[in-house]
Amino acid sequence: MKALITGGAGYIGSHTLIALSDAGYDFVVYDNLCNSSKESLARVSKIINRDIDFVEGDIRDKKRLQELFTTYKIDAVIHFAGLKAVGESVEQPIRYYDNNVNGTLVLLDIMQEFKCKKIVFSSSATVYGDPVSTPIEESFRVGGTTNPYGTSKYMIERILEDLVISDSSFQAVILRYFNPVGAHESGTIGEDPNGIPNNLMPFISQVAVGKREYLSVFGGDYDTKDGTGVRDYIHVVDLADAHVKALNYINSKQFNTKNLTFNIGMGVGYSVLDMVKAFERVSKREVPYKIVQRRAGDIAKCFANSLLAKEVLGWSALKTIEDMCIDSWRWQSNNPNGYSDK
């Protein structure tokens, strides 16, 4: 069984290649490298001890995808390719809708042409907007998104749901990731954000390694245990495993269109200060911080009920926040400048 991994050179994709290889799945990576480099694939190749089939290209490039599907017999697609920076999506909505929504439409069109009818899609907890309560269940209302990035994920979910209704032989699994963090235990691959990180964990790691002076904690007056925002952090290696479980499910007799969408989180909420303290414990470094104003668009609490993934996919998170911090720290301290430290 050969899977096409769009966006496979990126953060989550690269970790998923290892999980797929361990599970015996064959794959080809397709990526335009707009937010990644071939170095991540070279490092994955070392970890899995074999060459990786890689084709450089854009998911909006119909001709290139046709060539790809002609060269390789693709049985299923894991679709990571997409732009993901929330702030940038507000400034450049057309670029985001074109890349994420239009790109997915082109990909789905080619899949139909080549009769490839299995897809696992990277969605996000962002589709829930500000939830009425926590833990968040898959049945909660979606679509109250507050930025073009989030709306692009919501639109793609709807497109996939409509496709499954229109063609009963088409199988889709939508994984709604909560907050992916951490890195492979080898410390050779990890998250390599461009410029100043927007997300908490890369920022904490860069403060600990001395690249940044202090962490700005966005808001200390939320209705949470210590006033700082609460999130469901999920180790990227656990997240990678969820994709293997999703492919197994799609390939099994258990697949049922009633269960297409799954929350992928730990099911536990940790505050910003919990993460800072855990990071300090494992790295034995101080992480200086200052509490500043809330960040526009942030919510107080977001964590998952992931029981459906456990029941149907047989997946649950195994790694702890200590593992997340140790592995982020190993990656950051071995590669202070990410993949440019070759």
Q: Which of residues 117-136 bind ligand NAD (CB under 6 A)?
A: 122, 124
Structure tokens at 16: 């998923």
Site string for ligand UD1, 264-293 (x = CB under 6 A): --------x---------------------
Q: What is the distance in angstroms between the CA of the first residue and the CA of the last residue of the chain?
A: 33
Nearer to ligand NAD, 177 or 289 (CB): 177
Q: Quick one: tokens of 269?
A: 């909420």
For residue 276, give the nearest of 227, 220, 217 by alpha carbon. Answer: 217
Find out whether 287 and 279 touch, Cβ atoms under 8 Å.
yes
Residues 206, 200, 10, CA angle at the centre, nearest 5°? 80
> Which CB atom, from 99 or from 205, has the smaller least distance to ligand NAD?
99
Q: Residues 3, 12, 44, 309: which binds ligand NAD (CB under 6 A)?
A: 12
Q: Which is nearer to ligand NAD, 13 or 220 (CB)?
A: 13
Q: Please report whether residue 218 would count as binding ligand UD1 according to CB under 6 A.
A: yes
* Residue spans of beta strands (DSSP E) within the chain: 2-6, 26-31, 53-56, 76-79, 118-124, 171-177, 179-181, 215-218, 230-231, 233-235, 261-264, 270-271, 289-292, 301-302
User: How remote is the C-alpha of 307 from its chain's centroid?
Assistant: 19
Residue partners of 37: CB distance under 8 A and separation at least 6: 9, 339
Residues 43-102, interacting with ligand NAD (CB under 6 A): 58-60, 80-84, 99
Q: Is 30 known to be catalytic?
A: no
Which residue, 297 or 338, is less far from ligand UD1 as judged by CB?
297
Rule CB under 6 A: say whether 199 interacts with ligand UD1: yes
Query: How far is 151 from 159, CA to CA, in rounded Å?
Result: 12
Write the CB contacts of 258 (distance below 8 Å, at least 6 apart in sequence): none
Q: Does 114 bind ligand UD1 (CB under 6 A)?
A: no
Q: Site map for ligand UD1, 140-159, x if CB under 6 A? A: ----------x---------
Q: CB of residue 69 vs ligand NAD: minimum separation in angstroms?
A: 15
Q: Do 91 and 17 contact (CB within 8 A), yes or no?
A: no
- Nearest approach in angstroms of CB 149 to ligand NAD is 7
Q: Residue count of the chain, please give it.
A: 342
**Residues 51 to 80 in contact with ligand UD1, rule: CB under 6 A:** none
Catalytic residue among 149, 154, 177, 289: 149
Q: Counting contacts by CB under 6 A, is residue 309 touching ligand NAD?
A: no
Task: Name the residue nearer to ligand UD1 (CB basis): 116 or 230.
Answer: 230
- 23 backbone dihedrals φ, ψ, rounded to 5°: -85, 0
* Partner touching 59 among ligand NAD, ligand UD1, none, CB below 5 to 8 Å by kind: ligand NAD
Around Cβ 252, how many Cβ atoms within 10 Å? 10
- Compute how many residues bind ligand UD1; rule: CB under 6 A: 20
Measured in degrees and rounded to the nearest 5, phi and psi for residue 88 equal -65, -35
Q: Which residues are catalytic?
A: 149
Query: What residues line the site for ligand UD1 (CB under 6 A)?
Result: 86, 124-126, 150, 179, 198-200, 203, 215-218, 229, 231, 272, 295, 297-298
